[in-house]
Amino acid sequence: TFDFNFIVPENAPSGAYDVKARAYEKDATGIVINEGSASNSMKILQINKKIGIAITTETTLPTEDMDYSIVVYDQASEQADADVSIVIYTPDKEEFKKEIVRSGETSTIELKPASPPGHWSIQATLGELKETREFFVEEFEDLTFNLENETLTITNTGNVPYTNPVEITIGGITEVKQVNGLPVGESKRFRLVAPDGEYEIMVGDGLNKNELGTTFLTGK
């Protein structure tokens, strides 16, 4: 009968281990003349010790999706499988998204063009373990244009107030209008006038021009 105990090292990898015992007797010349053995098994559990957050890039535009993955390490610094609670925070510390993800798998944060610029954060929680990783969303200026009869609607579809000139071309004649502090998501309307006739309408911000088609205008 064997009765003993031992300490398992803190960094011992998880899994099944065999415990073997052997008793033997030797003669005067050292040859084993009698022996017996027995074995049993024991299991070392996996203990989650650390969380890591991997991201594809530390800086992104709001028009691009952000990929990330959670890595969980056990007592032997080996990757472990676990369900991790995730909260995505905006720069104002407001919750953008909450979800449960599987460690080792790639997840996506689907940003929107109007997502506010600044330092966002990913917070991962598993039991008492917590980890936070930041990424930066850049400023993004963008306008959309809509022409309906004689009215041109300009909408700020970026993530910062828009303060820049806009070119409006009516039949080859260009006017420049200053758009001052157009808030995110809001619109400004212009009524287009020209001598009676059908005109091709183009608008742009100096770098890009958009053809809005033709419309019939009246006036001077």
Per-residue pLDDT of 151-206, as tens digits, reads 999 999 999 999 888 999 988 888 888 888 899 999 999 888 888 888 899 998 76
Report pLDDT digits (tens) over 47-102.
999 999 999 999 999 999 999 999 999 999 999 999 999 999 999 999 999 999 99
Token pair listed for 197: 């006739």
Amino acid letter, residue 85: S
Can you give the length of the chain in residues?
220
Max distance between CA atoms of the chain, in angstroms, equals: 125
Amino acid at 187: S
**What's the whole-number mean pLDDT along residues 14-35?**
93
Identify the band that residue 220 occupies on the pLDDT scale cut at 50, 70 and 90.
Answer: low
- Which residues, listed in sequence order, are joined to residue 207 by a DSSP beta bridge? none
Which pLDDT does position 131 carry in this prediction?
Answer: 96
Residue-wise pLDDT tens digits, 112-135: 999 999 999 999 999 999 999 999
DSSP string for residues in 55-106: ES-SEE-TTS-EEEEEEEEETTS-EE--EEEEEEE-TTS-EEEEEEEETTSE
pLDDT higher than threshold 90 for residue 209: no
